[in-house]
Structure 1
Amino acid sequence: MAALQNSMPSLHHTLFTNSFPQVSFLINIRGLQKLSHGAFLCCKTSVPLHVRGEHLSSPPAAASSSSQFQDSCGRRRMIAVGIIAPLVSIVDRTPIAFAAETKKGFLPVTDKKDGYTFLYPFGWQEVVIEGQDKVFKDVIEPLESVSVNMIPTSKQDIRDFGSPQEVAETLIKKVLAPPTQKTKLIQAGEHDVDGKTYYTFEFVTQAPNYTRHALTAVSIGNGKFYTLTTGANERRWDKMKERLLTVVDSFKIFNV
């Protein structure tokens, strides 16, 4: 745990700002269509198919010739569609191939530069907050958000920092909540995906005017300590719980 304790100052600077949206920051709200590098919208790409037609005036005597021409055009159209259709399919799948597995009501984000991917609820908007790598939030319910942050580390495995409970308690007390707030760790655990270990934990932070219920996933890869945190106001937890679980479970790190 000593290594994690030594990382606290930089972790606090990096993570604290988005964990508590009441802290004042300059935020630029971007439209959903203007995602940062590596993010993809769940949309289809259309490839126009242009088939050139020719106007023919065929007297009855030329009906046979006209019929042959139409058959020829029909065959050309079929060949063209046979060539274009697979290309359309490939174009449609290209963004998704690099993104988190899609799910109804969510949009995927993949950062190919930093090597991570996750899903966020449809309708949340990307915001820019200093010190954060990526942040999406509900502009009506500001406590409903997800953020991803990273700091360099020489460790190769998240287990090198201690048990899930030890890492969770350290992050909650020293990074994810200000010292003036009461905190409670509800549960912590670990799971493996493609040979990589992730710690996930659930906790509550209590401020004078609100209580936030949050979920966090942490892991190590590419020489970085990754943290994804998502949450909501306690009064909306029952409504948001399943969606937030989908967000935290979708978080994956890949080699870059």
Structure 2
Amino acid sequence: MAIFSLSLSWASTTLSQKLSVPGSNEILPRVAAFSGNNSVTCTVEATVNEESNCKRRLLLLGVGALTTSLVPANFLFAEEIPKNYTSFVDFEDGYSYYYPSDWIDFDFRGHDSAFKDRTKQLQNVRVRFIPTEKKDIHELGPMEEAIYFLVKHRYAAPNQMPTIYSMQEKTVEGKNYYTFEYELTSPNYSSVSFATIVIANGRFYTLIVGANERRWRRYRSQLKVVADSFKVLDI
């Protein structure tokens, strides 16, 4: 079984329109998503299988690997990534965010990307999107009503009691975002999360980052950085 490894460094490697896998006749599409991991090792058989977990790891190439031919200059240099965070960018699906550098990627059912703490399963971030004909989150109605509906009827399970602590709105590059903090309490445990939502590209995007209620106070500030970093890109 052939195995290949990719190692990339800041602005030193140019990626072509297609990526050729050594030892195979298969030609892979241009990489469209990446994170701060600096190397990827996959079997050829797994990489050409679009359903494999290895494809996700191949896409998670180092943030420094893409040159300005793939990354707009204003995106690369507009802001500095906070210390102890890594940037994840998905150009194909049109979004980006930061996550703690010591977290690892994992499969979260129904979500496009997800990262978690290595030892705390409930401490994680995940992103999903669904098609929509709406153009802006203001079309959901007043912020308070829209957020209450989402938390009560979309995020909370039947046996969970929701509590909303805060909500805020911001506008970045003409796109409106809601970010809100909420707790879900069930008979067995409680979790607290930040959610950031935005509508763009004909999609309703949702990022949720949270932790067990007992750890929330300690890690709240760290997780707020993740929630505030979520940004959609034009595709």
TM-score (norm 2): 0.70
Which of 183, 193, 205 pairs up with 2:162?
A: 183
SS of residue matched to 1:235: helix
Q: Does 1:41 align with 2:62?
A: yes
What is the CA–CA distance in structure 1 between the aligned matches of 2:72 and 2:212, rounded to whole Å? 31
Q: Does the C-alpha gap of structure 1 residues 211 and 111 become closer, same or farther in structure 2, counting only changes over 3 Å? A: same
What residue number does 2:173 align with?
194
What residue number does 1:124 align with?
103
1:157-236 paired onto structure 2 within 5 Å: 157-236=136-215
What residue number does 1:245 align with?
224
Question: How far is the alpha carbon of 1:224 from its aligned partner?
Answer: 0.2
Is 33-42 or 187-196 further displaced after alignment? 33-42
For the Cα contact (< 8 Å) 1:151–1:226, is it kept in 2?
Answer: yes
In the comparison of the two structures, how many residue pairs are matched?
Answer: 181
What is the CA–CA distance in structure 1 between the aligned matches of 2:90 and 2:215, rounded to whole Å? 29
- 1:109 aligned partner, one-letter code: F
- 2:179 aligned partner, one-letter code: T
What is the CA–CA distance in structure 1 between the aligned matches of 2:207 and 2:124, rounded to whole Å? 10
1:56-75 paired onto structure 2 within 5 Å: none
Q: Does the C-alpha gap of structure 1 residues 91 and 149 become closer, same or farther in structure 2, counting only changes over 3 Å? A: closer
SS of residue matched to 1:123: coil
Question: How far is the alpha carbon of 1:207 from its aligned partner?
Answer: 2.0
Q: Which has a greater percent of strand? A: 2
For the Cα contact (< 8 Å) 1:173–1:179, is it kept in 2?
Answer: no
- 1:132 aligned partner, one-letter code: H
Which of 80, 83, 86 pairs up with 1:107?
A: 86
SS of residue matched to 1:128: coil
For the Cα contact (< 8 Å) 1:200–1:218, is it kept in 2?
Answer: yes
- 1:229 aligned partner, one-letter code: I
Question: How far is the alpha carbon of 1:38 from its aligned partner?
Answer: 5.3
Question: How far is the alpha carbon of 1:130 from its aligned partner?
Answer: 2.9
Task: Give the alignment's Cα RMSD to 1 decimal.
Answer: 2.6
Q: Over residues 107-155 of structure 1, what are the superposed CA-to-partner deviations in whole Å (9 max), with x where a residue is unaligned?
A: 0000000110000001111111331111111131111100100000000
For the Cα contact (< 8 Å) 1:124–1:139, is it kept in 2?
Answer: yes
Q: Does the C-alpha gap of structure 1 residues 93 and 212 become closer, same or farther in structure 2, counting only changes over 3 Å? A: farther
Question: How far is the alpha carbon of 1:232 from its aligned partner?
Answer: 0.8
Question: How far is the alpha carbon of 1:215 from its aligned partner?
Answer: 0.2
What residue number does 1:152 align with?
131
What is the CA–CA distance in structure 1 between the aligned matches of 2:104 and 2:233, rounded to whole Å? 24
- 1:108 aligned partner, one-letter code: S
Note the residue ranges of structure 1 that are not aligned, 5 or more in a row: 1-31, 46-89
TM-score (norm 1): 0.64
What is the CA–CA distance in structure 2 between the aligned matches of 1:208 and 1:93, rounded to whole Å? 52
State the identity as a percent.
36
What is the CA–CA distance in structure 2 between the aligned matches of 1:101 and 1:167, rounded to whole Å? 32
SS of residue matched to 2:106: strand
Structure 1 segments of 4 or more deviating over 2 A? 32-43, 90-101
* Bigger relative contact order (CA 8 A; separation at least 6): 1
Question: How far is the alpha carbon of 1:255 from its aligned partner?
Answer: 0.5
Question: How far is the alpha carbon of 1:40 from its aligned partner?
Answer: 4.3
- 1:219 aligned partner, one-letter code: V
For the Cα contact (< 8 Å) 1:38–1:109, is it kept in 2?
Answer: no
